[in-house]
Amino acid sequence: MNRRAASTTLAASLAAVLALTSLTGCGEDSGARASGGGDDTAPLEIWVRKPPGSPTEKTHHELAAAFTRATGIEAKVTALFDDFETKLQQAAAQRKLPDLIVNDTAQLGTLVKQGLVREVKQSEVTGGDRLIPSSWEAAKAADGKYYGVPFSAQTFALFVRKDWREKLGIAPPTDWDQLDALATGFTTGDPDGNGKADTYGYVIPGTTKRGYLDWYFSSFLWSAGGDYFTGTGKDIEPAVGSPAATLAAQRLKDQFCADKSVVPGAVTAETTQAHPLFETGKGGIYLTGPYNMARFDKALGKDKYEILPLPAGPGGKSSVLAEGENTYLMAGSKNPKGQLKYAEFLIGAEGQTAGMAGDTAGNVVRLPVNTSVELSAVRQDTRWQVFDKVYRESGRYSPVVKDWTPFRQASAEALNGMVADCGSDPGAVLAKLAGAFSDELKKQGAGS
């Protein structure tokens, strides 16, 4: 089921959710409980969006155990991955929300819109002043208030088959033309030397599910000098139909249709299908996150690929999507003080260091958000420094609107249709998308 269909299902649950929040302390009541009510010893239930049985689940269990030792408050972690948001809605409808969730920063708008999370005041978060200032942007909603505490940051870089590049005698790309030329070389130059035309340049998760193609495209949009919106607040307007945005979309289409340098099947691939395409030698360039290094080291070998920053685009700079996870304090908790203590523990030096899990696959803190925690002191793998540098110098979070999900979904569907139809006109596609953005802004009480 795609994200649009999922949104319909979630909308059908909204009445139950609103009924829940009216009874469990959302709004004024939750604020009163946070300031002094509730049971300070009540156990905490924490949901994390991680695969059950994974090394990352183990790390979260270890963090919860360390918190319990430090505070005496029992904390239980449940790892969920597939259909996390749907299961959260089911829990809301049953009035059984967890006390906290650790989930993607991109979910902020939806959680706020549905009243599932309570406001967090920066001044009340012990250790909040030690966080990277930009990390707080990932917890700020369209109303200017904060509804989560940053926990982990991440950004993206190019995973490139170094052995293929060196075999073809091509230097690391320093601009987009060189990047496209490298992708073409991987597609036509038989870089694996098997005498077959079975390799490609780009690995792209191009499905509409969870808005993946827009998730991929955003870094190229910004680096081309384009944007999703102009203005702020109620004066915000779509900008996705601009010439710079059209240029970025045209390049994406050309990769699929003219250069044919994208791995076949990309239009239906999500990340779980895209990862194997890189590690099995089908594609040689993959814009993805640091969490895949341990996997690719094991499956492919760390000597066969390199991590390179995305080159500056026609806009004159590189602006790369920044993401991560927030700790969300759910409405109606029996222990609001404990909720805040857990969030504070996760951003403290102990929580951030343990969450980084060294150079292992168990890392749940990809890049630390606490300025006092040195990444290089915890990880010996210098490739992490590439991501840290990209985040600090080029990282950019998704636009702050009431609910980003429908915009991302609409963009993914438009882009997916564009690359699947080589007769499409990118300018017309984005002009239509800008109209859809305008309609959605009005629904959310913004725009003209």
Whether residues 128 and 25 share a domain: the answer is yes
Structure tokens belonging to residue 123: 């001044």
Q: Is residue 122's pLDDT more than 80?
A: yes
CB-based contacts of 229, cutoff 8 Å, min separation 6: 236, 237, 238, 239, 240, 399, 401, 437
Q: Quick one: pLDDT at residue 32?
A: 38
Contact 213, 206 (CB under 8 A): yes
* Residue 430 belongs to some domain of the structure: yes
Please report which helix (H) or strand (E) contains residue 324, including its range. strand 323-329
Q: Quick one: pLDDT at residue 418?
A: 98
Whether residues 282 and 387 share a domain: the answer is no
Give the other-Cβ count within 10 Å of 104's Cβ. 15
Per-residue pLDDT band at 5 (split at 50, 70, 90): very low
Per-residue pLDDT band at 25 (split at 50, 70, 90): very low
Whether residues 164 and 271 share a domain: the answer is yes
Q: How many domains does the chain have?
A: 2
Per-residue pLDDT band at 233 (split at 50, 70, 90): confident
* Residue 448 belongs to some domain of the structure: no
Q: Is residue 26's pLDDT more than 50?
A: no
Q: Quick one: pLDDT at residue 86?
A: 93
Contact 151, 102 (CB under 8 A): yes
Per-residue pLDDT band at 82 (split at 50, 70, 90): confident
Q: Quick one: pLDDT at residue 3?
A: 37
Whether residues 411 and 426 share a domain: the answer is yes
* Domain residue limits at 426: 157-321+404-443
Q: How far is CA 424 from CA 248, 310, 417, in A?
A: 15, 27, 8
Q: What is the mean pLDDT of the chain?
A: 91
For the segment 241-261, the average pLDDT, to the nearest whole number, is 98
| pLDDT, tens only, 349-389 | 999 999 999 988 899 999 999 999 999 999 999 999 999 99
DSSP helix, strand, coil percent of the chain (3-state; round to 5): 50, 15, 35
Whether residues 144 and 183 share a domain: the answer is no
Q: Return d(Cα 371, Cα 366) in angstroms, integer.
A: 14
Contact 140, 338 (CB under 8 A): no
What pTM, to 2 d.p., does this model score? 0.83
Q: Return d(Cα 3, Cα 414) in angstroms, integer.
A: 14
* Residue 348 belongs to some domain of the structure: yes
Whether residues 178 and 221 share a domain: the answer is yes
For the segment 264-276, the average pLDDT, to the nearest whole number, is 96
Q: Quick one: pLDDT at residue 214?
A: 98
Q: How far is CA 338 from CA 40, 64, 101, 344, in A?
A: 6, 12, 13, 10
Whether residues 99 and 194 share a domain: the answer is no
Per-residue pLDDT band at 324 (split at 50, 70, 90): very high
Whether residues 33 and 129 share a domain: the answer is yes
Contact 176, 251 (CB under 8 A): yes
Q: Quick one: pLDDT at residue 359?
A: 87
201: domain CATH number? Answer: 3.40.190.10
% of the chain with per-residue pLDDT over 70: 92
Whether residues 283 and 330 share a domain: the answer is no
Whether residues 113 and 225 share a domain: the answer is no
Q: Return d(Cα 43, Cα 40) in angstroms, integer.
A: 9
Whether residues 191 and 249 share a domain: the answer is yes
Q: Quick one: pLDDT at residue 9?
A: 41
| pLDDT, tens only, 405-434 | 899 999 999 999 999 999 999 999 999 999
Whether residues 271 and 419 share a domain: the answer is yes
Structure tokens belonging to residue 438: 């305008």
* Residue 73 belongs to some domain of the structure: yes
Q: Quick one: pLDDT at residue 29?
A: 42
